[in-house]
């Protein structure tokens, strides 16, 4: 599953992605850019999902609160039970 979380009041998507990635994995997002947006109803409210793509030079470390394991994997070698998101633009 990808790192994620909510937006802080007034926070832009890219800033939220950088913050969440750092909080949950210790990685600094570099060259980040928004590559997709989805609006999904969830429990009677609209849930805005924004997919951000970027890179890092850091090794991910699970925060052990929200994330219990973290790692990088080739697309064709993802662990079982991995959520896969495919956006076509």
* Domain segments of the chain as ranges: 13-77
pTM for the full model? 0.73
The model's confidence at residue 80, banded by pLDDT at 50, 70 and 90, is confident
DSSP conformation letters of 7-75 = PPTT--HHHHHHHHHHHHH-PPPEEEEEEEEEEEEETTEEEEEEEEEEE-SSPP---SSS-S------G
Q: Where does the pLDDT of residue 8 fall: very low under 50, low under 70, confident under 90, or very high at 90 and above? A: confident
pLDDT at 81: 66
Tokens read off for 18: 């950088």
Residue 6: per-residue pLDDT: 80
Mind listing the pLDDT tens digit for each residue in 13-47? 999 999 989 988 899 999 999 998 888 887 888 88
């Amino acid at each position: 599953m990808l790192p994620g979380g909510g937006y802080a009041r007034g926070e832009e998507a890219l800033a939220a992605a950088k913050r969440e990635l750092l909080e949950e994995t210790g990685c600094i997002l570099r060259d980040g850019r928004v590559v997709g947006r989805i609006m999904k109803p969830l429990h009677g409210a609209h849930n805005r999902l924004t997919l951000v793509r970027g890179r890092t030079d850091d090794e991910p470390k699970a925060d052990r609160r929200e994330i219990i394991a973290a790692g990088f994997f080739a697309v064709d070698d993802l662990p079982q039970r991995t959520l896969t998101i495919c956006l076509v633009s």
